[in-house]
Amino acid sequence: MAQILGRHIRPCPSCDFEGVHVKQNEGKLPYTHCPDCGLMCAAKNGQQAAGLLRNTRANKIDQAAPPPAPPVAEKPIVVPPEVAALAVPTPAPAPAPAAPAKPAGLWDSLMKRG
Residues near Zn ion, by CB under 5 A: 12, 14-15, 17, 34, 36-37, 39
Minimum CB distance to Zn ion smaller for 36 or for 48: 36
**Please, what's the b/e burial string for 2-13 (b: 16 or more CB within 10 A of its CB; e: otherwise)?**
eeebbbbeeebe
Least distance from Zn ion to the Cβ atom of residue 39, Å:
5
Minimum CB distance to Zn ion smaller for 17 or for 19: 17
Least distance from Zn ion to the Cβ atom of residue 32, Å:
9
Minimum CB distance to Zn ion smaller for 10 or for 28: 10
- H-helix or E-strand containing 5? strand 3-8
Q: Which residues pair with 56 in a beta bridge?
A: 8
Least distance from Zn ion to the Cβ atom of residue 19, Å:
10
C-alpha–C-alpha distance, residues 30 and 42, integer Å: 6
Answer whether 8's CB lies under 8 Å from 33's CB: no
Exposure of 63 in the CB half-sphere (CA atoms within 13 A): 6
Least distance from Zn ion to the Cβ atom of residue 11, Å:
8
Minimum CB distance to Zn ion smaller for 17 or for 41: 17
